[in-house]
A and B are shown apart, each in its own frame.
With several copies, the nearest count.
Chain A
């Protein structure tokens, strides 16, 4: 099997990236709850504890604010910490350190200091964990100047973007969708970097542009297959990083197809796709639209527990197909 064909899971890709970064650079270390012998709530850290020991794969008490703050301090003092927050919902506990400290220190100090840290956290619904364990708060982080925000949609990106995030001299929030951890894909073995700020064109089509992030990328691709059978030729674009946002490929594709569907799991109101819609609407691409912009988002509700309620709360493949067909009809 050649390197290019090797398939590993998204969780393994994250682990591999961290392992390679820790091997290459003494300054890199991990801290988080139950990342030691337990191997992480989602099994991501796995054997890193055995390989690197308790100092560099540092199990912590349940103190999100404290550990994120410790990462900020360690980064300021020259280390390259990677914090794992068990569920991205618990970033709420640590917002002061993320937003008031990490994001602003470089600016506030007039450039005299840097905060090269990575905060990884699983987001999203689909596991029956209900409202306090299933949120998608990427829009918040994207709204905060000083943070970079990454949402890898594939195993390959989970590795390449994470390695780029670890290299970055700024605080980077990496939001991993928990339903993706067990999905697999080809991932090069070497420690490659995928630059932050490059929209990926996952599929190219003539009739409709779908922009999607996180777990919605694979749903959009699946929907695109169905739509293809209905004669609708779909592009699927994945911004991959919300900040910095590489908008040009999106504007170009929309200008070409004249129709755009923006898909996210998070509630629609003041979400990330609101920004994409705004960027399109303030660009000349606006004049190429054959139909109004369409957003398909999670309902504006907390994520419910019951499986049928939970899946009704966020876009599923048939919803994307339907929205795509409606867009075609409208134009």
Chain B
């Protein structure tokens, strides 16, 4: 809950989070390529500043809802990398006991109410969680992540409207990475920015550079304050880009090499490192130390996760219903 450029510790934390996301995704990419991971994976390399900046503006007891591209959200909200990796490796020690996998990863204890395999599926859920907090008299806020593609779903529309009319403590965060799989935002909507849709719901809409963790934080801080004080939701649009294909089956036919490398030039981590050094918050050696620590942490996570027991099929039938 501090600006990423306010002090060395926070700067360090923001940087470490972004590196954790980057390295986690790279590890997943690698494990998948080597046939050691199952299913499909949606990586958020290039988008690290958005979850990091957003979650920095949240309290620990605030909640998030996440998406199919949810590893970054989960990490930024404070999940344990080993249990995340264990989930993706289909282990009994994974967050979901191997039942959910990447698209359903959740860590309810750190306030992550769940990734979602359904585009826009989490938006009504976030809205309902915010309603619950209001009804219970909690002053918690929900940060609801979704992509630009999700904005075209009816679920977005219905839920955002409920949030607006009831002035719920929720922030709607569109991670606009320009494509909903292969379909560009130029084609999927007849306006320039997703944030322009906010006016129709009577709420503020803000577009920020989603690769600038400080800008994301600042916009989010304002939105959170608004939400927490009962003034209602904000639609925050973090403009960013995914470097990798949509999922493992993507041949990248719908975008150009040039576009991809242009965005790789706007690496959110490199940009932040430059800024913290320029601001005199961290030295180059601090940065090297952060990188190193993250690499070690990831190695340990993969190692521990790998040696955990496989998900156990024996109680499948008993896992469907909760018991009173």
- Does a CB–CB distance below 8 Å link A and B in the complex? yes
Does A124 count as interface, using CB distance less than 8 angstroms? no
Residues of A within 8 A of B90 (CB): 305-309
Verify A61–B63 contact, CB threshold 8 A. Answer: no
Verify B253–A79 contact, CB threshold 8 A. Answer: no
Verify A77–B128 contact, CB threshold 8 A. Answer: yes
Does B14 count as interface, using CB distance less than 8 angstroms? no
Does A78 count as interface, using CB distance less than 8 angstroms? yes
Residues of A within 8 A of B253 (CB): 37-39
Least CB distance, A14 to chain B, in whole angstroms: 17
Determine the distance from Cα of A138 to Cα of B17 in the docked complex, in whole angstroms.
44
- Checking B124, B155, B311, B323 against A306 with a beta-carbon cut-off of 8 angstroms, the contacting residue is B311
Least CB distance, A82 to chain B, in whole angstroms: 13
Residues of A within 8 A of B223 (CB): none
Determine the distance from Cα of A67 to Cα of B96 in the docked complex, in whole angstroms.
26
Residues of A within 8 A of B154 (CB): 63, 65-66, 93
Verify A74–B129 contact, CB threshold 8 A. Answer: yes
Binary A-proximity of B114-125 (CB < 8 A = 1, otherwise 0): 101111110111
Determine the distance from Cα of A301 to Cα of B320 in the docked complex, in whole angstroms.
6
Binary A-proximity of B36-61 (CB < 8 A = 1, otherwise 0): 00111000000000000000000000
Residue picked from B118, B159, B321, most chain A C-beta under 10 Å: B321
Least CB distance, A269 to chain B, in whole angstroms: 11
Does A128 count as interface, using CB distance less than 8 angstroms? yes
Residues of B within 8 A of A167 (CB): 324
Give the interface segment out of A129-137, A154-162, A205-213, A272-280. A129-137
Residues of B within 8 A of A55 (CB): 135
Verify A306–B135 contact, CB threshold 8 A. Answer: no
Determine the distance from Cα of A105 to Cα of B124 in the docked complex, in whole angstroms.
14
Verify A129–B131 contact, CB threshold 8 A. Answer: no
Binary A-proximity of B131-165 (CB < 8 A = 1, otherwise 0): 11101100000000000011011110111011001
Verify A106–B320 contact, CB threshold 8 A. Answer: yes
Does A73 count as interface, using CB distance less than 8 angstroms? yes
Residue picked from A111, A130, A131, A313, most chain B C-beta under 10 Å: A130
Give the interface segment out of B176-184, B206-214, B226-234. B176-184
Does B219 count as interface, using CB distance less than 8 angstroms? no
Least CB distance, A3 to chain B, in whole angstroms: 27
Verify B39–A128 contact, CB threshold 8 A. Answer: yes
Determine the distance from Cα of A56 to Cα of B127 in the docked complex, in whole angstroms.
16
Does A214 count as interface, using CB distance less than 8 angstroms? no
Determine the distance from Cα of A307 to Cα of B131 in the docked complex, in whole angstroms.
37
Determine the distance from Cα of A248 to Cα of B106 in the docked complex, in whole angstroms.
39
Binary B-proximity of A33-61 (CB < 8 A = 1, otherwise 0): 11011110101000000000001100111
Residue picked from A55, A60, A63, most chain B C-beta under 10 Å: A63
- Checking B100, B114, B125, B131 against A130 with a beta-carbon cut-off of 8 angstroms, the contacting residue is B100
Least CB distance, B301 to chain A, in whole angstroms: 18
Determine the distance from Cα of A141 to Cα of B293 in the docked complex, in whole angstroms.
50
Verify B182–A305 contact, CB threshold 8 A. Answer: no
Least CB distance, B228 to chain A, in whole angstroms: 16
Within 71-112 of B, Cβ neighbours of A (below 8 Å) are at 90, 94-104, 106-108
Does A110 count as interface, using CB distance less than 8 angstroms? yes
- Checking A71, A128, A148 against B38 with a beta-carbon cut-off of 8 angstroms, the contacting residue is A128
Within 179-200 of A, Cβ neighbours of B (below 8 Å) are at none
Least CB distance, A305 to chain B, in whole angstroms: 3
Least CB distance, A147 to chain B, in whole angstroms: 9
Determine the distance from Cα of A63 to Cα of B152 in the docked complex, in whole angstroms.
6
Verify B320–A107 contact, CB threshold 8 A. Answer: yes
Give the interface segment out of A96-104, A227-235, A315-323. A96-104
Determine the distance from Cα of A106 to Cα of B108 in the docked complex, in whole angstroms.
12
Verify A304–B128 contact, CB threshold 8 A. Answer: no
Verify B117–A132 contact, CB threshold 8 A. Answer: yes
Determine the distance from Cα of A300 to Cα of B321 in the docked complex, in whole angstroms.
11
Residues of B within 8 A of A146 (CB): 320-321
- Checking A76, A79, A112 against B96 with a beta-carbon cut-off of 8 angstroms, the contacting residue is A112
Verify A112–B98 contact, CB threshold 8 A. Answer: no
Verify A299–B316 contact, CB threshold 8 A. Answer: yes
Does A114 count as interface, using CB distance less than 8 angstroms? yes
Verify B310–A306 contact, CB threshold 8 A. Answer: yes
Verify A76–B128 contact, CB threshold 8 A. Answer: yes
Residue picked from B103, B128, B317, most chain A C-beta under 10 Å: B128
Residues of A within 8 A of B150 (CB): 62
Determine the distance from Cα of A168 to Cα of B142 in the docked complex, in whole angstroms.
26
Least CB distance, B159 to chain A, in whole angstroms: 5
Least CB distance, B152 to chain A, in whole angstroms: 4
Does A252 count as interface, using CB distance less than 8 angstroms? no
Does B33 count as interface, using CB distance less than 8 angstroms? no
Given known A-B contacts A78-B136, A133-B117, A301-B317, A93 and B128 have beta carbons under 8 A apart: no
Nearest 10 CB-CB pairings of A with B: A69-B124, A73-B128, A66-B158, A128-B39, A305-B101, A110-B97, A70-B128, A306-B90, A77-B132, A306-B98
Interface residues of chain A, those whose CB is within 8 Å of chain B, are 26-27, 29, 33-34, 36-39, 41, 43, 55-56, 59-79, 81, 89-90, 93, 96-97, 100-101, 105-114, 116, 127-133, 145-146, 148, 167-170, 299-302, 304-309, 312-313
